[in-house]
Amino acid sequence: MFRRMRALLTVVLSAALFMGATGAPASAINRFSGGGVVGPVLRPGFVVPAGIDDEVPGVALDAYPIPSRTVTGTLDAAPISLPPEDKRDVYSVYLAPGEQITLDLTGPAGNFDLLLLAPNTISVNAPRYVQIGNNAGSTEHICYTAAELFGAGRYFVVVTTDADEGEYSLTWRISGRSDGNVPGTRLESLRVTGTVDPADDPDDVYRIPLEVGQTLSVTVTVDPPLSGTIGVGVLPPRWDNAGIWEPTTDIWFGGDATFGRGSAVSHYVYVDEPDSIAGDYFIDVYAPAGRVDYVLEWEVLPQLAPGAPLPPSPVESTLSTRTVYEMRMRAGDTFVGTLDSLSSVNIWGRLYAPDGSIVWENTSTSDPKPFSYAVPAHAEGYYHLQLTPDAITDSRVTWSVRRASARVQGSDRFATAVQASRSAFPDGADVVVLASGADFPDALAAAGLAGAYDAPLLLVQRTALPSATSDEIARLGATRCFIVGGEPAVSASVAAAVAVETGVTPVRVAGLDRYSTAAEVARRVVDRLGPDYDGGAFIARGDTFPDALAVSPLAWRSRRPVLLTRPTALPSATTAALTEVGATSAVVVGSQSAVSEPVLLDVAAITGSATRVWGGDRYSTAVEVAKWGASNGFASYRYVGVATGTNFPDALGGGIAAGAEGGVLLLTRPDMLSAPTASLLAAEKPSVRWVRVFGSTKAVSAAATAQLDTLLK
């Protein structure tokens, strides 16, 4: 990121002051066949007429249905007196914040260039350059991650030449990297590992809040030591101010570390008054040469927020200055313990809520000092325990978290999905997925799509956009929206309302029926992931909901598609999708009465491998699905979602929330906790940290949640 910025400084710095995020993605282009001079070819049989590709907005690479990732075209730089002259082809593609686009151009002998222009470019004759590929030949490469400087929006890709002619091939790919630019990844562990590659993953960016008076120490080590070169740089909070920065004073580079000059590079940032400011600072780890693995270690002195992760109880240490520990707490947690000075020196203790308010502090100097705090539903997040000694002293903190279930509910199914989104995505999301709340098939198939985009699932009415849903899209800050399902499920008026009320133009993903809709979703998932797709798929019965509900968190987490089937016959749409996406394995959810053995064998014949996961009923099947997910690394019991097994609405958004938390979804009877669910929770009790009950007491009764809380004690 920073090396690219330096290279293009003279081009983009003055323009950056005027660049902001643009609006919603453009709608899909019309497709033509025949007529006119041959332009870029998006798919066999679809040809763009001459002229449309010579100026912005050009041809949409990401138009629906999914185009090939490779487009071809022909440029001819003949003089105007010898028409037809065609010196450039223009494409467009929408990038959400944090998304990365990779472009590779190959062309004829001669010199073709590749340009990436910013979203607010009004003409190729007045370009707003993001990156330029202008090697001597016609082979060009651009890799860019959308960030604060140019914002989200529709970027423009230009293939151009001044003097040469011939056919070219442009290959493109978008991936969901969010760690390559500001705001990056929050530093939580004092030691993190990663990989950077100047070709396709040039930067890993981390963020850490600092206060005036603190010192940040960063050490990045090449691992293994002889594997290459690493670099590190730091940017201050003002970088996050609409992309405006002062290059001479605001970028502090720690330099590069090469095995010939040492395998590590260290850097210190002093946040001193009056020149420095508090806020999020950004650490950029980059690869100046080739691909390299690294270890990043950091420390803030004196130790203030974000603090060190709170170690297991008891925490014994020597305190010489103010020290802060951090822990994430959720609704239903009660943080209890004692604070002791192991000498006559007093220690002042404070517990800070995520909003910075003090929710506990000791008023007595007598030891031990007990504390207890129950987290309300509106105050989930990172808490900080601050210890301030009057002088150097040894200390001991004993602590534990008492667990209890917490209910996630709204006034109706739409508001409950909103609450699930708020719980799992407190910091917002760039993408949101919408589906009908009146029926289940489309929403169940959407789980893998939501996972591929790190997105929540919200519900809508067939002909109306609930106000709670609209407000949540705004809170999330989403810049891209998918509607799963055709107009009989979600009408065109709802799509129009989304565009008007949120400013985000949705893209519809739909087929002729539930099976072909799930197939279209699968294609979208794999297209999004590209080479990151692991080949897996989930198969569930499409005419009822419990089995597909149970697998939705795993589909989100694993970013695998959920395809639907009839109990005794594999639909042709599902067969085609498994073949087209290149699935190499499948998990069939449910017993033989739900998905017959011949269907499983058909799936195995296509993918090469099919495994059945099932139980004696819907409740035990959900338990077996959870076990499978935990044993295969797609989930843990740290977060457990619980929903009724007799209806679907509450679990639609809840399953996605459980997946985003890395957890599982279990089903229960409304009136009492189902035996298979209770048995699994009892067995995994030491691992369970948070339990979320989705829906009101009509869906999961107070008696059932009381049983849950008894199990957790």
Question: Range with the lowest mean pLDDT among 5-19, 133-147, 271-285, 479-493?
Answer: 5-19
Structure tokens at 390: 């009057």
* Residue 379 vs residues 274, 355, 456: alpha-carbon distances, Å: 33, 8, 20
Confidence of residue 531 (pLDDT cuts 50, 70, 90): confident
Q: How confident is the model at residue 631 (pLDDT cuts 50, 70, 90)?
A: very high
Tell me: the pLDDT tens digits for 542-574? 999 999 999 999 999 999 999 999 999 999 999
Strands (E) located in 542-638: 562-565, 585-589, 610-613
Q: Which of 214-223, 230-239, 423-432 has the lowest mean pLDDT?
A: 230-239
589 contacts 565 by C-beta, under 8 angstroms: no
First to last CA, the chain: 49
Q: What's the confidence (pLDDT) of residue 1?
A: 41
Residue 246 class from Cβ within 10 Å (0-12 exposed, 13-18 middle, 19+ buried)? exposed
Per-residue pLDDT tens over the stretch 578-610: 999 999 999 999 999 999 999 999 999 999 999
Token pair 């067995």: residue? 683
The pLDDT confidence band at residue 248, using thresholds 50, 70 and 90, is: very low
Q: What residue segments make up the domains of the chain, in order of their start?
A: 2-175, 185-301, 309-402, 406-712
Averaged over 261-284, what is the pLDDT? Answer: 61
Give me the mean pLDDT over the 679-702 stretch. Answer: 92
**Residue 320 CB-density burial (10 A; 0-12 exposed, 13-18 middle, 19+ buried):** exposed
The answer regarding whether domain 2-175 maps to CATH 2.60.120.380 reads yes
Q: Lowest-confidence range among 219-223, 391-395, 438-442, 480-484?
A: 219-223
Q: Give the least confident one: 93-107, 297-311, 333-347.
A: 297-311
The torsion defined by the Cα of 135, 205, 475 and 653, in degrees rounded to 10, comes to: 100
pLDDT band at 273 (very low <50, low <70, confident <90, very high): very low
Dist CA 62 CA 26 (whole Å): 10
Comparing 700 with 206, the larger pLDDT belongs to 700
Give 283's pLDDT tier (boundaries 50, 70, 90). Answer: confident
Reading phi first (left if > 0) and then psi (alpha if -120 to 50, else beta), residue 100 is in beta
User: Residue 296: what pLDDT?
Assistant: 87
pLDDT at 206 over 80: yes
Mean pLDDT is lowest, of 276-285, 362-371, 502-511, 597-606, for 276-285
- Least confident stretch, 96-105, 154-163, 302-311: 302-311
**CATH number given to 185-301:** 2.60.120.380
Q: What torsion do the CA atoms of 499, 503, 504, 510 make, to the nearest 10 degrees?
A: 0
Helix (H, G, I), strand (E, B) or coil at 287: coil
Burial of 336 (0-12, 13-18, 19+ CB in 10 A): middle
638 pLDDT above the threshold of 80: yes
From CA 4, how far away is CA 145, in angstroms rounded?
11
pLDDT of residue 652: 92
Whether 525 shows a pLDDT value over 50: the answer reads: yes
Mean pLDDT of all residues belonging to the chain? 82
Strand 358-361 to strand 347-352: parallel, antiparallel, or no bridges (unpaired)?
antiparallel
Sheet with 406-408, strands from edge to edge, namely 406-408, 690-694, 639-644, 664-668
β-pair type (140-145, 100-106): antiparallel
Distances (CA, A) of 203 to 143, 206, 267, 678: 11, 10, 17, 46
Q: Is 675 exposed, middle or buried (0-12, 13-18, 19+ CB in 10 A)?
A: middle
Q: Return the percentage of the chain with pLDDT > 70, whole number.
A: 82
Q: Does 646 score more than 50 pLDDT?
A: yes
Residue 205 neighbours by CB under 8 Å, 6+ apart: 1, 179, 180, 181, 182, 183, 184, 185, 282, 283, 284, 285
Confidence of residue 301 (pLDDT cuts 50, 70, 90): low
What span, in angstroms and rounded, lies between the C-alpha atoms of 288 and 294? 13
Kindly report which listed range (174-183, 455-464, 559-568) carries the lowest average pLDDT score.
174-183
- pLDDT above 70: residue 41: no
Ranges 245-254, 371-380, 530-539: which has the least confidence = 245-254
- DSSP letter at 468 equals H
User: Residue 347: which residues within 8 A CB-CB, separation 6 or more?
Assistant: 319, 339, 341, 369, 387, 388, 389, 390, 393, 395
Hey, which CATH number is domain 309-402, 2.60.120.380, 1.10.10.10, 3.40.50.720, 3.40.190.10? 2.60.120.380
Question: Average of pLDDT values for 429-447?
Answer: 93
662 torsion bin: left (phi>0), alpha (psi -120 to 50), beta (else): left
With beta carbons less than 8 A apart as the criterion, state whether 218 and 298 touch.
yes
Q: Residue 185: what pLDDT?
A: 82
Written as one string, the DSSP assignment of 655-676 is: HHHHHHTT-EEEEE-SSS--HH
132's tokens: 């330029």
pLDDT (0 to 100) of residue 412:
94
